[in-house]
Amino acid sequence: MEEVSGLVIRKLEAMTEAAEPRVICSKRKAISALLPHAVRLAGSGKQQMIGVFSRVAEASDSEGFIWHSVEPFMATLFDKPRTAFLDRTITLVSPYLDWDRYCFDKNMVTRWSTAALAVPYTEVVGRSVVDALWRIVCTGTLQPHIPIRIWSWSNGRTFLPPIRLGQFMRTWRVVCQIRALEDIDILKSYFLLVWSDWRCPEDSALIEMHNSVKRNFNGIGMGCHRGDLIDRLDHVLGQLDQGPEYLKKHRPDLDFSVTQDAKGHYRELKEALLEMDREATEILTRTPSRFVVLFDLLTPADMYRISPDIHV
Protein backbone atom coordinates (compact mmCIF):
# COMPACT_ATOMS: atom_id res chain seq x y z
CA MET A 1 0.00 0.00 0.00
CA GLU A 2 2.87 2.35 0.82
CA GLU A 3 4.34 1.71 -2.63
CA VAL A 4 1.04 2.69 -4.25
CA SER A 5 0.82 5.84 -2.13
CA GLY A 6 4.39 6.70 -3.04
CA LEU A 7 3.63 6.30 -6.72
CA VAL A 8 0.53 8.50 -6.45
CA ILE A 9 2.51 11.19 -4.62
CA ARG A 10 5.22 11.16 -7.30
CA LYS A 11 2.60 11.52 -10.05
CA LEU A 12 0.96 14.41 -8.24
CA GLU A 13 4.31 16.11 -7.74
CA ALA A 14 5.10 15.70 -11.43
CA MET A 15 1.79 17.36 -12.33
CA THR A 16 2.59 20.24 -10.01
CA GLU A 17 6.04 20.75 -11.53
CA ALA A 18 4.60 20.62 -15.07
CA ALA A 19 2.26 23.48 -14.07
CA GLU A 20 -0.33 22.78 -16.76
CA PRO A 21 -3.64 23.95 -15.22
CA ARG A 22 -5.85 22.53 -17.96
CA VAL A 23 -4.32 19.07 -17.66
CA ILE A 24 -4.67 19.12 -13.89
CA CYS A 25 -8.28 20.29 -14.05
CA SER A 26 -9.14 17.52 -16.49
CA LYS A 27 -8.14 15.04 -13.78
CA ARG A 28 -9.67 16.88 -10.84
CA LYS A 29 -12.28 14.20 -10.10
CA ALA A 30 -9.67 11.46 -9.83
CA ILE A 31 -7.34 13.67 -7.79
CA SER A 32 -9.98 14.91 -5.36
CA ALA A 33 -11.28 11.35 -4.93
CA LEU A 34 -7.93 10.67 -3.23
CA LEU A 35 -8.72 13.19 -0.49
CA PRO A 36 -10.26 10.71 2.00
CA HIS A 37 -7.19 8.50 1.63
CA ALA A 38 -4.87 11.50 2.02
CA VAL A 39 -6.72 12.55 5.18
CA ARG A 40 -6.44 9.07 6.67
CA LEU A 41 -2.71 9.04 5.94
CA ALA A 42 -2.33 12.45 7.56
CA GLY A 43 -4.13 11.16 10.64
CA SER A 44 -1.45 8.49 11.04
CA GLY A 45 1.32 11.05 10.74
CA LYS A 46 1.94 10.81 6.98
CA GLN A 47 1.08 14.28 5.71
CA GLN A 48 2.99 14.23 2.44
CA MET A 49 -0.01 13.38 0.26
CA ILE A 50 -2.30 16.05 1.71
CA GLY A 51 0.47 18.59 1.23
CA VAL A 52 0.98 17.56 -2.38
CA PHE A 53 -2.78 17.69 -2.96
CA SER A 54 -2.80 21.31 -1.81
CA ARG A 55 0.02 22.22 -4.21
CA VAL A 56 -1.70 20.44 -7.11
CA ALA A 57 -4.97 22.23 -6.37
CA GLU A 58 -3.16 25.57 -6.30
CA ALA A 59 -1.38 24.79 -9.57
CA SER A 60 -4.75 24.04 -11.16
CA ASP A 61 -5.79 27.71 -10.81
CA SER A 62 -9.35 26.41 -10.47
CA GLU A 63 -12.06 27.93 -8.28
CA GLY A 64 -13.89 24.62 -7.81
CA PHE A 65 -11.09 22.08 -7.86
CA ILE A 66 -12.59 19.66 -5.34
CA TRP A 67 -15.15 17.36 -6.96
CA HIS A 68 -18.59 18.11 -5.49
CA SER A 69 -19.08 14.44 -4.59
CA VAL A 70 -16.18 14.68 -2.12
CA GLU A 71 -17.50 17.78 -0.34
CA PRO A 72 -19.84 15.82 2.02
CA PHE A 73 -16.81 13.92 3.30
CA MET A 74 -14.87 17.15 3.77
CA ALA A 75 -17.80 18.63 5.70
CA THR A 76 -17.57 15.81 8.26
CA LEU A 77 -14.00 16.86 9.11
CA PHE A 78 -15.31 20.10 10.62
CA ASP A 79 -17.17 18.10 13.30
CA LYS A 80 -14.26 15.90 14.37
CA PRO A 81 -12.16 16.61 17.50
CA ARG A 82 -9.30 19.00 16.86
CA THR A 83 -5.85 17.70 16.06
CA ALA A 84 -2.84 19.40 14.49
CA PHE A 85 -3.14 17.41 11.26
CA LEU A 86 -6.87 18.11 11.01
CA ASP A 87 -6.31 21.84 11.52
CA ARG A 88 -3.80 21.84 8.68
CA THR A 89 -6.06 19.75 6.43
CA ILE A 90 -9.07 22.03 6.94
CA THR A 91 -6.92 25.11 6.31
CA LEU A 92 -5.45 23.78 3.06
CA VAL A 93 -8.66 22.47 1.49
CA SER A 94 -11.06 25.24 2.58
CA PRO A 95 -10.38 27.49 -0.47
CA TYR A 96 -11.62 24.73 -2.77
CA LEU A 97 -14.94 24.10 -1.05
CA ASP A 98 -18.12 25.68 -2.37
CA TRP A 99 -19.03 27.75 0.68
CA ASP A 100 -21.96 29.36 -1.10
CA ARG A 101 -23.59 26.25 -2.56
CA TYR A 102 -22.91 23.61 0.04
CA CYS A 103 -24.54 23.58 3.48
CA PHE A 104 -21.75 25.26 5.44
CA ASP A 105 -22.87 27.14 8.54
CA LYS A 106 -21.48 29.51 11.15
CA ASN A 107 -20.05 26.61 13.19
CA MET A 108 -17.97 25.56 10.22
CA VAL A 109 -16.71 29.11 9.79
CA THR A 110 -15.69 29.14 13.45
CA ARG A 111 -13.96 25.75 13.05
CA TRP A 112 -12.13 26.95 9.94
CA SER A 113 -10.92 30.15 11.61
CA THR A 114 -9.75 28.22 14.68
CA ALA A 115 -7.75 25.88 12.44
CA ALA A 116 -6.30 28.72 10.38
CA LEU A 117 -5.08 30.56 13.48
CA ALA A 118 -3.48 27.40 14.88
CA VAL A 119 -1.49 26.29 11.83
CA PRO A 120 2.12 27.58 11.58
CA TYR A 121 2.43 30.20 8.85
CA THR A 122 3.85 29.39 5.42
CA GLU A 123 3.21 31.06 2.06
CA VAL A 124 0.90 28.21 1.07
CA VAL A 125 -1.03 28.49 4.34
CA GLY A 126 -1.24 32.27 3.94
CA ARG A 127 -2.71 32.04 0.45
CA SER A 128 -5.12 29.31 1.56
CA VAL A 129 -6.44 31.41 4.44
CA VAL A 130 -6.82 34.58 2.36
CA ASP A 131 -8.46 32.66 -0.49
CA ALA A 132 -10.96 30.96 1.84
CA LEU A 133 -11.57 34.23 3.71
CA TRP A 134 -12.73 36.10 0.61
CA ARG A 135 -14.86 33.17 -0.55
CA ILE A 136 -16.61 33.07 2.80
CA VAL A 137 -17.05 36.85 2.70
CA CYS A 138 -18.71 36.58 -0.68
CA THR A 139 -21.41 34.23 0.61
CA GLY A 140 -22.92 37.14 2.52
CA THR A 141 -24.66 35.05 5.17
CA LEU A 142 -21.46 33.61 6.66
CA GLN A 143 -19.41 36.82 6.69
CA PRO A 144 -20.66 38.06 10.11
CA HIS A 145 -19.25 34.92 11.75
CA ILE A 146 -15.64 35.56 10.71
CA PRO A 147 -13.68 36.52 13.85
CA ILE A 148 -11.80 39.82 13.90
CA ARG A 149 -8.37 38.15 14.18
CA ILE A 150 -8.82 36.42 10.83
CA TRP A 151 -9.37 39.73 9.03
CA SER A 152 -5.76 40.71 9.72
CA TRP A 153 -4.68 38.02 7.24
CA SER A 154 -6.21 40.08 4.44
CA ASN A 155 -3.88 42.97 5.29
CA GLY A 156 -0.72 40.97 4.68
CA ARG A 157 -0.54 41.69 0.94
CA THR A 158 -1.00 37.99 0.14
CA PHE A 159 -2.06 38.08 -3.49
CA LEU A 160 -3.93 35.26 -5.16
CA PRO A 161 -3.36 34.24 -8.77
CA PRO A 162 -5.73 36.46 -10.81
CA ILE A 163 -7.32 33.44 -12.47
CA ARG A 164 -8.55 32.32 -9.03
CA LEU A 165 -10.57 35.50 -8.52
CA GLY A 166 -14.07 34.44 -9.45
CA GLN A 167 -16.77 36.74 -10.77
CA PHE A 168 -18.37 36.68 -7.33
CA MET A 169 -15.40 38.72 -6.05
CA ARG A 170 -16.23 41.59 -8.39
CA THR A 171 -19.92 42.14 -7.69
CA TRP A 172 -21.72 45.17 -6.27
CA ARG A 173 -22.91 43.12 -3.29
CA VAL A 174 -19.38 42.21 -2.22
CA VAL A 175 -18.07 45.78 -2.57
CA CYS A 176 -20.93 46.95 -0.35
CA GLN A 177 -20.25 44.20 2.19
CA ILE A 178 -16.59 45.14 2.47
CA ARG A 179 -17.39 48.86 2.81
CA ALA A 180 -19.93 48.06 5.52
CA LEU A 181 -17.12 46.69 7.71
CA GLU A 182 -15.89 50.30 8.02
CA ASP A 183 -12.25 49.20 8.13
CA ILE A 184 -10.02 51.14 5.74
CA ASP A 185 -7.24 48.51 5.78
CA ILE A 186 -9.60 45.68 4.85
CA LEU A 187 -11.22 47.79 2.14
CA LYS A 188 -7.81 48.65 0.69
CA SER A 189 -6.74 45.00 0.82
CA TYR A 190 -9.87 44.06 -1.10
CA PHE A 191 -9.16 46.62 -3.83
CA LEU A 192 -5.50 45.58 -4.04
CA LEU A 193 -6.63 42.00 -4.51
CA VAL A 194 -9.54 42.41 -6.90
CA TRP A 195 -7.73 44.97 -9.09
CA SER A 196 -5.00 42.43 -9.76
CA ASP A 197 -7.48 40.72 -12.07
CA TRP A 198 -7.42 41.55 -15.78
CA ARG A 199 -11.18 41.37 -16.02
CA CYS A 200 -13.64 44.16 -15.34
CA PRO A 201 -15.97 44.17 -12.35
CA GLU A 202 -19.62 44.36 -13.26
CA ASP A 203 -20.93 47.88 -13.98
CA SER A 204 -22.71 48.33 -10.66
CA ALA A 205 -19.57 47.20 -8.81
CA LEU A 206 -17.47 49.72 -10.74
CA ILE A 207 -19.84 52.52 -9.73
CA GLU A 208 -19.59 51.43 -6.10
CA MET A 209 -15.79 51.27 -6.35
CA HIS A 210 -15.64 54.82 -7.70
CA ASN A 211 -17.92 56.00 -4.91
CA SER A 212 -15.81 54.21 -2.35
CA VAL A 213 -12.56 55.65 -3.68
CA LYS A 214 -13.95 59.17 -3.45
CA ARG A 215 -15.60 58.80 -0.05
CA ASN A 216 -13.30 56.43 1.82
CA PHE A 217 -9.87 57.46 0.54
CA ASN A 218 -10.21 61.23 0.41
CA GLY A 219 -8.55 63.72 2.72
CA ILE A 220 -4.99 64.58 3.71
CA GLY A 221 -4.53 61.55 5.95
CA MET A 222 -5.27 59.02 3.22
CA GLY A 223 -2.17 59.77 1.12
CA CYS A 224 -0.35 56.53 1.97
CA HIS A 225 -3.41 54.43 1.23
CA ARG A 226 -3.95 56.22 -2.09
CA GLY A 227 -0.29 55.66 -2.92
CA ASP A 228 -0.66 51.89 -2.39
CA LEU A 229 -3.75 51.78 -4.59
CA ILE A 230 -2.12 53.85 -7.34
CA ASP A 231 0.97 51.61 -7.28
CA ARG A 232 -1.25 48.55 -7.70
CA LEU A 233 -3.12 50.09 -10.61
CA ASP A 234 0.18 51.13 -12.23
CA HIS A 235 1.40 47.55 -11.99
CA VAL A 236 -1.76 46.08 -13.50
CA LEU A 237 -1.93 48.73 -16.24
CA GLY A 238 1.70 47.95 -17.08
CA GLN A 239 0.74 44.31 -17.58
CA LEU A 240 -2.28 45.19 -19.71
CA ASP A 241 -0.08 47.42 -21.90
CA GLN A 242 2.13 44.46 -22.88
CA GLY A 243 -0.08 43.59 -25.83
CA PRO A 244 -2.26 40.65 -26.91
CA GLU A 245 0.54 38.08 -27.19
CA TYR A 246 1.71 38.66 -23.62
CA LEU A 247 -1.86 38.62 -22.31
CA LYS A 248 -2.78 35.47 -24.22
CA LYS A 249 0.30 33.68 -22.92
CA HIS A 250 -0.51 34.41 -19.29
CA ARG A 251 -4.31 34.41 -19.45
CA PRO A 252 -5.48 32.22 -22.37
CA ASP A 253 -8.97 32.21 -20.83
CA LEU A 254 -9.52 35.92 -21.57
CA ASP A 255 -10.42 37.76 -24.76
CA PHE A 256 -8.23 40.73 -25.61
CA SER A 257 -11.29 42.99 -25.73
CA VAL A 258 -12.07 42.10 -22.10
CA THR A 259 -8.63 43.22 -20.95
CA GLN A 260 -8.91 46.47 -22.91
CA ASP A 261 -12.20 47.29 -21.23
CA ALA A 262 -10.59 46.63 -17.87
CA LYS A 263 -7.66 48.88 -18.76
CA GLY A 264 -9.98 51.80 -19.45
CA HIS A 265 -11.78 51.40 -16.13
CA TYR A 266 -8.56 51.01 -14.16
CA ARG A 267 -7.24 54.23 -15.70
CA GLU A 268 -10.38 56.04 -14.56
CA LEU A 269 -9.93 54.73 -11.02
CA LYS A 270 -6.29 55.82 -11.04
CA GLU A 271 -7.24 59.29 -12.26
CA ALA A 272 -9.78 59.61 -9.44
CA LEU A 273 -7.07 58.76 -6.89
CA LEU A 274 -4.61 61.19 -8.48
CA GLU A 275 -7.21 63.95 -8.44
CA MET A 276 -7.69 63.46 -4.69
CA ASP A 277 -3.91 63.61 -4.26
CA ARG A 278 -3.82 66.92 -6.11
CA GLU A 279 -6.61 68.30 -3.93
CA ALA A 280 -4.79 67.25 -0.76
CA THR A 281 -1.56 68.85 -2.01
CA GLU A 282 -3.34 72.12 -2.75
CA ILE A 283 -4.78 72.16 0.76
CA LEU A 284 -1.35 71.62 2.29
CA THR A 285 0.27 74.35 0.18
CA ARG A 286 -2.38 76.83 1.36
CA THR A 287 -2.03 75.80 5.02
CA PRO A 288 0.16 78.00 7.33
CA SER A 289 3.26 76.24 8.64
CA ARG A 290 1.94 76.09 12.22
CA PHE A 291 -0.98 73.98 11.00
CA VAL A 292 1.36 71.72 9.05
CA VAL A 293 3.11 70.99 12.35
CA LEU A 294 -0.30 70.21 13.83
CA PHE A 295 -1.03 67.75 11.02
CA ASP A 296 2.24 65.99 11.78
CA LEU A 297 1.10 65.46 15.38
CA LEU A 298 -2.22 63.91 14.45
CA THR A 299 -2.76 60.18 14.39
CA PRO A 300 -3.91 58.41 11.18
CA ALA A 301 -7.40 58.17 12.69
CA ASP A 302 -7.42 61.93 13.29
CA MET A 303 -6.20 62.61 9.78
CA TYR A 304 -8.88 60.41 8.30
CA ARG A 305 -11.52 62.72 9.74
CA ILE A 306 -10.11 65.74 7.91
CA SER A 307 -12.19 66.49 4.83
CA PRO A 308 -10.41 67.28 1.56
CA ASP A 309 -12.40 70.52 1.25
CA ILE A 310 -11.27 71.94 4.58
CA HIS A 311 -10.57 75.68 4.51
CA VAL A 312 -7.92 77.16 6.78
Residue 162: its pLDDT value, please?
Answer: 56
pLDDT higher at 75 or 267: 267
Q: What is the DSSP string of the chain?
A: -HHHHHHHHHHHHHHHHHT-HHHHHHTHHHHHTTHHHHHHHHHTT--HHHHHHHHHHHHHT-TT-S-GGGHHHHHHHTTSPP-HHHHHHHHHHGGGS-TTTS---HHHHHHHHHHHHHSPP-HHHHHHHHHHHHHHHTTSSSGGGS-HHHHGGGGS--PPPGGG--GGGGSHHHHHHHHHT--HHHHHHHHHHHTTSSSPPPHHHHHHHHHHHHHHS-SGGGHHHHHHHHHHHHHHHHHHTT-HHHHHHH-TTS-HHHHHHHHHHHHHHHHHHHHHHHHHHHHHHHS-HHHHHHHHHS-HHHHHTS-TT---
What proportion of the chain, given as a percentage, has pLDDT over 90? 17
Q: Which of 6-10, 238-242, 259-263, 291-295 has the lowest mean pLDDT?
A: 291-295
Residue 297: its pLDDT value, please?
Answer: 46
When pLDDT is averaged across residues 228-250 and rounded to a whole number, the result is 89
The mean pLDDT value of the chain amounts to: 79
203-216 helix and 184-194 helix, angle to the nearest 10 degrees: 140
Tens-place pLDDT, residues 205-225: 889 999 999 999 998 889 999
| Confidence band, pLDDT 50/70/90 cuts, at residue 196 | confident
Taking the whole predicted model, whether its pTM rises above 0.75 is answered as no
